[in-house]
Amino acid sequence: MASSADFESASREVLAFLQRTLGFDLWLVTRVEEDDWIVLESHGQGYALENGRALEWRDSLCSRMVAGVAPRIAPRVMDVPAYATAPFLRQFPIQAYMGLPLYLADGKLFGTLCAFATTPQPSALSAQADLFDVIGMLLSLLLQMEIKAETQTRRAERFEAQALLDAMTGLFNRTGWDQLMAKEEYRCRRHGKSCVVIVVDLDELKQINDSEGHMAGDALIRRTAEALAQAARSEDVVARIGGDEFGIIGVNCDQAGGSALLARVLGSLAEKGIAASVGLAVRASTGDIGQAFIEADRLMYQQKRRKSSQQPLPQASVE
């Protein structure tokens, strides 16, 4: 194999090498994200599993392999009860399977390296287990190195974006928000990661400006910035994206992580006595952060309209 500078190109080369060496109709590198099993790279044909396609993780053969209830190499899938009963087989004609897990540095499951064949394979295939394991281990190590490098890159990006700070709050301004959102979208697509977007809009800024003056309004804006910065994690993006509107990108957050971030935001705002309307949206595995931003903004305005019409509504919810 030629040298590869990153996980994406290395995955493509590994899949091509494994197909030349071990056969099988289709080889995949996948990402597991909550209930989704997402195809990151594919090589071969016969199953219409193109890059970016998301399937149910619990239905897959890989979920059973990772759980330890079925072997990593199955030359005849129907001879393995845990595989033979998998719902995945009702969608795809699989007669042989190979798979192994890919792990992050903290031991969490990232995804899988796997292969399918439409015909049973020779039993001698099991003799290739050591080669398969070594390639999977090296791919996991490359992934871990790249994610570690990404963390350093993200820090450098934030440092470079210091010129794009809002003068009043010290948060990123709208230009900084747009640039960093594009960079996080690239990472989400590259590794099949998820994130959340939270939009916060102050409810009482105009009234305070009118009744107490703009200095009081400016103090409210700064207090809100402090509350959001305290609620967010160091890797999250926090920005003032309008006069009284703020945004947070919860990096590498799934639904549960987004709910936890939202709870911290609401708690921090309440602690500082700030009334605000809030919307949260999760970047779908087949969507993008821009769409999540639009949806979070829509949910925020929906909450604001309900408040103005005095309809009962919880303080905020994940919709």
Q: How far is CA 191 from CA 31, 41, 67, 142, 143, in A?
A: 7, 10, 22, 13, 9
- Mean per-residue pLDDT for 125-131? 88
Does residue 159 lie in a domain region? Answer: no
Residue 39, beta-bridge partner list: 30
Number of domains within the chain:
2
Does residue 200 lie in a domain region? Answer: yes
The predicted structure's pLDDT at residue 5: 61
Give Cβ neighbours of residue 59 (< 8 Å, ≥ 6 apart).
86, 87, 88, 91
Does residue 316 lie in a domain region? Answer: no
Q: Which of 38-52, 72-86, 103-117, 171-185 has the lowest mean pLDDT?
A: 38-52
Over residues 265-303, the pLDDT tens digits come to 999 999 999 999 999 999 977 788 999 999 999 999 999
Does residue 57 lie in a domain region? Answer: yes
The predicted structure's pLDDT at residue 258: 93
d(CA 79, CA 82): 9
211 or 191: which leads in pLDDT:
211
The reply to whether 55 and 172 lie within a common domain is: no
- Mean per-residue pLDDT for 229-251? 95
The predicted structure's pLDDT at residue 2: 40
Q: Which of 7-16, 47-56, 149-158, 229-238 has the lowest mean pLDDT?
A: 149-158
Domain hosting residue 179, numbered range? 165-308
CA 307 to chain centre: 32
The reply to whether 228 and 301 lie within a common domain is: yes
In the structure encoding, which two tokens stand for residue 208, read together?
Answer: 């305070």
> Average pLDDT of the chain?
88
Q: What is the domain-level CATH number for residue 174?
A: 3.30.70.270
The reply to whether 216 and 140 lie within a common domain is: no
The reply to whether 301 and 188 lie within a common domain is: yes
- In the predicted structure, residue 314 carries a pLDDT above the cut 50: no
The predicted structure's pLDDT at residue 274: 94
The predicted structure's pLDDT at residue 318: 40
The reply to whether 176 and 138 lie within a common domain is: no
Over residues 200-230, the pLDDT tens digits come to 999 989 889 889 988 999 999 999 999 999 9
Backbone angles phi, psi at 129, to 5 degrees: -60, -40
145 or 290: which leads in pLDDT:
290
Does residue 196 lie in a domain region? Answer: yes
Does residue 291 lie in a domain region? Answer: yes
Over residues 44-94, the pLDDT tens digits come to 987 878 888 889 999 999 999 999 999 999 999 999 999 999 999 988 999
- Mean per-residue pLDDT for 159-186? 88
Over residues 246-271, the pLDDT tens digits come to 999 999 888 899 999 999 999 999 99
The reply to whether 192 and 292 lie within a common domain is: yes
The reply to whether 106 and 192 lie within a common domain is: no
d(CA 283, CA 291): 7
User: Which of residues 115, 149, 183 is at a domain's end?
Assistant: 149
- Mean per-residue pLDDT for 154-180? 85
d(CA 220, CA 259): 25
Q: Which residue has the tokens 């001879």?
A: 79
Single-letter amino acid code for the residue at 302? Q
The reply to whether 129 and 189 lie within a common domain is: no
Does residue 92 lie in a domain region? Answer: yes
d(CA 99, CA 26): 12
- In the predicted structure, residue 97 carries a pLDDT above the cut 50: yes
Strands (E), the chain: 26-33, 36-44, 54-56, 73-74, 96-103, 109-117, 196-202, 237-240, 245-250, 276-282
Give Cβ neighbours of residue 147 (< 8 Å, ≥ 6 apart).
104, 105, 191
The predicted structure's pLDDT at residue 94: 94
48 or 101: which leads in pLDDT:
101
